[in-house]
Amino acid sequence: MKEKKDFDGWENIDWEVEIDTLEFDLMAINSHNKNNPNVGNEWKIWPKEMTGIILLPLGYNPPTWQTSPVLDPDEEYSLKKGWLKLAQFIDENDSISLQENTFTIDGKYGSEFSFDISMELSMWLPPNSLNRYENSIRAIRNGAPGRGNLGTHMGYLEASIASWKICINLEDDGLVFHDFPPHVKGLELKQYEGWSTFVNPSGDTFPESLLILIELLIADNNIWEILHQQELDRRKANEEWNKKWPNGRPDDWMYL
């Protein structure tokens, strides 16, 4: 049996990285595994606890009044395994960069994508938008209090529209529509509406969904088929609206 060697994963931490960020937590996983002589090809060591400094696997520190565990043992194991796998994938792939909570992904055919991650809400949003939308999304999940106030309602609406949205980094030409890239063949449409770039989660856990998304963006192919179908659906819905209300949508349309 191979003898285990003493290894402290906290010794090589860059403490200049902002602590309450995904970048810090994944760096902690990296430092406990990448150069650890007790770890083989697959990362498996979860960072040693340091007074709640790591927000993962849950994504936030539970309130002090929360006495019972938020996660059961199976959920905790599944999440930790997913975050370990994601951290290793990111470390081994030069197409991925992460600064605090913002990912930038370089696609295989030259596309560039970016998005923010909320660990607490287990969600991605447009880059550099967490401070703008996180409180509203949290409130929506708690029943959307104050939604009768117009300003609060608009804040909830904007946050809902931002949920699960990614950004395709293009030169800003002031146009609403953008061309689908030429390397993607067989698409019915030539253009998509720039703000409509949503990718819903498809994994059993958030880290699994995040890994699937990143792999899609790196491959730089099927992601465009997803966005193309989304654009087809959006145009079809608009046609149905226009047929139903050819003179414009009434103010109380949602109640009709």
Confidence category of residue 173, pLDDT binned at 50, 70, 90: low
Q: Residue 10: pLDDT above 60?
A: yes
Is residue 228 within 8 Å of residue 189, measured between CB atoms? yes
Q: Is the pLDDT of residue 88 over 60?
A: yes
CA 125 → CA 49, 128, 162, distances in Å?
A: 29, 8, 6
**Angle formed at CA 94 by CA 90 and CA 99, multiple of 5 degrees:** 60
The pLDDT of residue 47: 94
pLDDT for 141: 87
Tell me the pTM. Answer: 0.89
Mean pLDDT of 242-252: 70
Q: Which residues contact 68 (CB under 8 A, 6 or more apart)?
A: none
CA distance 207 to 87: 9
Closest CA to 224 of 246, 205, 197: 197
Q: Taking all residues of the chain, what is their mean pLDDT, rounded to a whole number?
A: 90
74 to each of 55, 59, 60, 69, 207, how far by Cα in Å? 18, 16, 18, 12, 15
Q: What is the pLDDT of residues 121-170, one digit of tens each?
A: 999 999 999 999 988 988 888 888 888 888 888 888 888 889 999 999 98
Q: What is the pLDDT of residue 3?
A: 57
